[in-house]
Structure 1
């Protein structure tokens, strides 16, 4: 019996968007999508109908203030550590 592989990106994207208190439309527009398709496109990404390319995920990560790796991490505990790491200020930010 083969196990179906589930990409973590859809659930991580939705969790990060909700934590940032953004709508699908708002996130899509902030990422440069046309306002007429932003909500539908983000819904497709969150429901694994389509998968965004890596550069678009990087753009979403920047908007959501999350490390890009968070969206691809399969282990939930490790994803939380990665998300926390992204919130630690750098040495330059502390100066």
Structure 2
């Protein structure tokens, strides 16, 4: 799979996931992102079907309308995408705490391969 096809697949999956969670129609999302109301539904549908990948500026506007970080829409790893979406909803002080915990976990020896 080419890089562009992979980006298209990830973007379309994440866009639809975030739109459904936000309970927006394709048309409403498009309008909220600044797409003309007469083509909003069709454009968002093309993005969700992976037929087109929007330019970064449009990706940013879609993410803003969905209240998710732009990086969420492009992240291939499901767990990391979920972490990005969750962390983005935290206030700044709690983000700092989360970062501290993540750094501590990253420095800890891996527990893979250990038996209980």
Aligned length in residues: 88
2:21 is the counterpart of 1:19: yes
- Corresponding residue number in structure 2 for 1:46: 48
| Residues in 1 aligned to 2:74 and 2:35: alpha-carbon distance in whole angstroms | 22
| Residues in 1 aligned to 2:39 and 2:86: alpha-carbon distance in whole angstroms | 31
| Residues in 1 aligned to 2:19 and 2:34: alpha-carbon distance in whole angstroms | 15
2:11 is the counterpart of 1:9: yes
Rg larger in structure: 2
Q: CA RMSD in A?
A: 1.0
Report the 3-state secondary structure (helix = DSSP H, G, I; strand = E; otherwise coil) of the residue aligned with 2:91.
Answer: coil
Structure 1 length as normaliser, TM-score?
A: 0.87
- Ranges in structure 2 where 5+ consecutive residues have no aligned partner: 94-116
Structure 2 length as normaliser, TM-score?
A: 0.72
Structure 1 segment 1-95 matched on structure 2, within 5 A: 4-5=1-2, 6-7=6-7, 8-91=10-93
- Ranges in structure 1 where 5+ consecutive residues have no aligned partner: none
Instruction: Compare relative contact order (CA 8 Å, sep 6+) and give the higher one, 1 or 2.
Output: 1
Q: Shift of the alpha carbon at 1:24?
A: 0.2
| Residues in 2 aligned to 1:30 and 1:71: alpha-carbon distance in whole angstroms | 17
Task: Return structure 1 stretches of 4+ with deviation > 4 angstroms.
Answer: none
